Structure 1
Amino acid sequence: VTHYKVLERFKYMTWVECKLETGRTHQIRAHFKHIGHTLFNDERYEGNVILKGINLPKYKQFVKNVFEVLPRHALHAHTLGFIHPVTKKEMYFESPMPADMEEAMKKWRNYLERG
C-alpha cells in the first residue's frame, strides 16, 4: 500500500510525497506506473519517454535538458525507518535532497515562471 500527497504541480509533472505501509521492491515505481504516472526518467518503467507536450518543441527540449541534469529516476528517500530484523531496534535515517534532484526541481520552477 502506497499513500501519496501532492506537494507541487508542474506542467505535465507533479512532485509527491509517499508513505508506504509495506516496503516491496520497486513499490513506488510500480504503483505509479500502474496508475499511469511513471517516475520522471525511470527507464525501467518507461518514465524516460516524453508522453505529454510532445508537440511542443520548446517543452520537449526542456525535458531532455532536465533528463541530462537528472540522469536517473527521480526517487529519493528523505526518511527511512524500519525495525532491525536481528536486534529488533527501531532504525531511522534521514537524507537531504540530492543536488541533481534539487537542480531538476529548480529548472521545473523556472520553466513554469517563464511560461
Structure 2
Amino acid sequence: MKAIKSAVVIMSILLVLGFGVVIYTIATRVSSGVGNKEDVSSESVSLPESQEVQAFPQAFLELPAGCELVASQLQGNRVLLQFGGNRERGCQQVLLFSAISGERLGGWSLAAPTAVAE
C-alpha cells in the first residue's frame, strides 16, 4: 500500500513539472515571436552574385475590373502571378515573368465555357 502511495505522489510531481515545462515553452515562443507571419514576410530575396540584374522598364498589367492578385511566387529567376475573380471577365489567369528582364514568358487563363451547338 505504501508503494502505491509513493507512486501516486511521484506521478503527481512529474505531471506538475511536465505542465510547467509546456507552459514555459509556450510562453517563451510567444514572447520571442516564433512562427509569426511577419518573420516570413521580412525575409529578403537576393540574386546570386554571378547574375547581373539588368534594368527594365516598369511592367503594367491591365486586368478587368474586379480582378485581384491571389498569389505570387518567386523561384529562381521566374515570378509566377495568379489572379482571381470573375471568370467571365477573364480574371482567372496565371502569368509567368522573368524576374531578371521583366519579360512575360507565358501564362494560362480559364475562359468561360461556350455553348455547344448541336
Whether TM exceeds 0.5 here: the answer is no
Shorter chain as denominator, the TM-score bin is under 0.3
TM-score with structure 2 setting the length: 0.24
TM-score with structure 1 setting the length: 0.24
Task: Please identify the structure whose Cα radius of gyration is greater.
Answer: 2
